[in-house]
Amino acid sequence: MKLSQIWQIKVLRRLNKQNIDEDTLYLVLTLIVGISSGLIAVFINYSIRFLTKYLNTSSSFTFETFWKAGLLVFISGFITTRLFPNTAGSGIPNVKIALVVHHGKITLGEWLAKMVTSITSLASGLSLGREGPTLAVCSGFASSAGTLLSLSKNKIKSLVAIGAAGGIAAAFNTPIAAVIFALEEIVGNLNAKMLGPMMIASVFAAITASFFNGDNSVFTPVHYQLNDNRELIIYLIIGIAASIIGPLWVRFVLKLRKTNKFIFKEHKLTLILFTFCLIAAVSLYNPAVLGSGHDIANDALLGVIKDWKILLMLFLLKFIFTGVCYSSGISGGLFLPTLFMGAMLGGLTASVADFFFPNLIGNIGPYALVGMGAYFASVIRAPFTSIIIIFEMTHDYKIIIPLMIANIVSYVLSMKFLKGSIYEQISEQDGVHLPTKEDFDVLESLIVEDAMIKDVITLNAKMTIKEAMKTVNHSEISGYPVMRSNYIVGVISSHEIGSAFARFQGEATIQDVCTKEVITIYSDQSLMVAFHKLNKYKISRLLVVSRMNDRRLVGIITAEDIVNHFGFKIHEESKHGVIDSYIAEFEKKNSEKEIKESKESSSL
């Protein structure tokens, strides 16, 4: 028996003695995950900063910096390519895969390896960020904690999402945006049940991180004031530009990944080392290519960088080399590099506008800030997060209107150019088909009335079991509403009719043996609600009733009806059909055998 299993058994025994139920454990773990997420984020941040300073990987590379940082990249790449393949990239797609495919299970080795590979790769100066990996590590910790205490699959999945929110909250000091991002991108829908625990964990994570980092925003707050209504046109242009360039960058990354696979084939570690050498060489030309670009983005927000040529150069550097780094498969995230590109794009748009309209543009900082949100919405496809995260970082409600204009335009138009976020696109390219927000939206938008059967076969409550047997014999339907005076009395299955016939010899009435507690749904509720009810109560069909009177039947719906409504056809053979086919086959074989025997006897 493994040491972890022995420890798990000891913990569970102690908890059993304390008589602690699962809901209490879940609440306690929510607090623990929140605090731990803050500590993990601080540890990753401080480790990267310490190694970056020690190696001097924030400025042009020297030979000493090159071989020391190269050793770290080799260690990170070796772990990723040889030991833990799931540590590649930002880790966010792998968290989503864990939720959908593995019921939230992320092993201890995986998230510890993710932490090591991320620290070593990001400290080497690669053009990636730490926020995505921090989210992945925090989610992994939450998963291990829930698994250790043998929580149910649903509770573990919830903890993974809670860990994701805690990681982002601690990394950005934006607890509200962290919750919305976890719901939008990780969970895939705005699940109200998780909202409370997520908010608690995010607040605790942010407070814990603030205790060590200070209560400061990731970027210096920018104070915004609208002096001329024509400025809104510039913000609109920023949104349009982001909607075009964001999908273009995602396609660029996808093309690089495809090209890398063709050139380097299975030599993934060689690709990672080649990428590092390329970044080291470019740093001699311009060290701005190194790291996540936080300080330069902050300068853009403060209006320090005004020259459009510099802004364009910085944007192109990150556009190209963040794509190169991320496509190599090294461990690192996209959050800050994406915000960096957005800041340069917003600042560039404002700088060009200032050339044509000198008196219109004042400080380019607010434009850079709005550019951050618009580009984030275009690439990551989390529109609510893109608005709230910028608002939380500035604490200035006046920026909301231009922010909403640019972000909504960017999000809506970018969907026309490319479906899905960069994480979804990469998963699709790898052959992993994750459920998208559109999948949930379809089920939410369609209602029960669209898919239900209105011509329902019912049984009269006064009908005897014997009469019911004759009615349902050879029927493909397995369950029937029981009615009296056009109102629902209960529900009964073919199996229950057969059992009652054996017990009462068919003299009892249907209403005596039917199930009185009926699970119902209303015709105006969504198909998602119908799916949840079918799964929750482990039943094959739901009675659709009127809101005016929940005993008046208006239809019936099954899981097959829902699927068929999407254009698919599931053929379900009835039990009598299967039996009849076996009988026919048996009789055919017998007749063939008899004919053969008769021929043999006649020949004799």
Same domain membership, residue 421 and residue 499: no
Instruction: Kindly report, residue by residue over 289-344, the tens digit of the pLDDT.
Output: 898 888 898 888 888 888 899 999 999 999 999 999 999 989 998 989 999 999 99
Q: DSSP letter for 508, please.
A: S
In terms of domains, do 475 and 564 share one? yes
- Residue with more model confidence, 377 or 576: 377
> What CATH number corresponds to the domain at position 465?
3.10.580.10
Q: What is the pLDDT of residue 266?
A: 82
Q: Crossing angle, helix 131-148 and helix 153-172, to 10 degrees?
A: 150
Residue 585 lies in a domain: no
pLDDT of residue 40: 95
For residues 238 and 346, the answer to whether their CB atoms sit within 8 Å is: yes
Banded pLDDT at 103 (limits 50, 70, 90): confident
199 and 333, same domain (yes or no)? no
Checking DSSP bridges between strand 487-493 and strand 479-484, what pairing results, if any? antiparallel
Question: CA-to-CA distance for 364 and 343, rounded, in angstroms?
Answer: 10
Q: Is residue 129 part of a domain?
A: yes
Contacts of 263 (CB under 8 A, 6+ apart): none
Would residue 38 count as lying in a domain?
A: yes
Asked if residue 23 and residue 56 are part of one domain, the reply reads yes
- The answer to whether residue 442 sits within a structural domain is no
Is 35 part of any domain? yes
CA distances from 309 to 152, 302, 498 (A): 56, 18, 83
Closest C-alpha among 34, 283, 25 to residue 175: 34
Interior angle at CA 538, CA 535 and CA 541, nearest 5: 85
Considering the domain architecture, whether residues 417 and 463 belong to the same structural domain is answered as: no
Host domain of residue 126: 3-213
- Out of 408, 434, 460, a domain closes at 434
Would you say residue 570 has pLDDT above 50? no
pTM: 0.75
Query: Up-side HSE of residue 118: CA atoms within 13 Å toward CB?
Result: 33
Q: What is the pLDDT of residue 465?
A: 86
CB of 105 within 8 A of CB of 143? Answer: yes
DSSP at 490: E
Residue 284 lies in a domain: yes
pLDDT, residue 575, reads 40
Question: Over 50: is that where the pLDDT of 160 sits?
Answer: yes
Q: Give all strands (DSSP E) within 387-477, no chain letters.
A: 459-460
Amino acid identity for residue 115 in this structure: M
Asked if residue 502 is part of any domain, the answer here is yes
Residue 382 and residue 311 share a domain = yes
Domain boundary among 412, 434, 456: 434
Of the listed ranges 218-227, 420-429, 509-518, the least confidently predicted one is 218-227
Binned at pLDDT 50, 70 and 90, residue 448 comes out as confident
The answer, yes or no, to whether residue 577 has pLDDT greater than 60, is no
Tokens coding 67: 């071989």
Q: Are residues 422 and 476 in the same domain?
A: no
For residue 116, is pLDDT > 90? yes
Decide if 209 is inside a domain.
Answer: yes
pLDDT of residue 583: 44
- pLDDT at position 196 over 90: no
- Are residues 259 and 167 part of one domain? no
What DSSP line would sit under 157-219, residue for residue? HHHHHHHHHHHHHHHHT-HHHHHHHIIIIIISS--HHHHHHHHHHHHHHHHHHHHHH-S--SS
Q: Which pLDDT belongs to residue 318?
A: 94
Same domain, 421 and 463: no
Domain tally, the chain: 3
Residue 596: pLDDT above 80? Answer: no
Q: Are residues 359 and 335 in the same domain?
A: yes
Residue 167 belongs to a domain with what CATH number?
A: 1.10.3080.10
Mean pLDDT of the chain: 84
Tell me, yes or no, whether 19 and 153 share the same domain.
Answer: yes
Mean of the pLDDT values across residues 401-414?
A: 92
Residues, the chain, total?
604
Least confident of 114-128, 151-165, 464-478, 557-571: 557-571
- Mean per-residue pLDDT for 259-279? 90
CA distance 168 to 334: 13
Nearest to 135 by CA among 101, 102, 184: 184
588 CB neighbour count, 10 Å cutoff: 10
Q: Are residues 155 and 63 in the same domain?
A: yes
Q: What percent of the chain has pLDDT over 70?
A: 86
Q: How confident is the model at residue 137, as a pLDDT?
A: 95
Q: Which two tokens stand for residue 68?
A: 């020391």
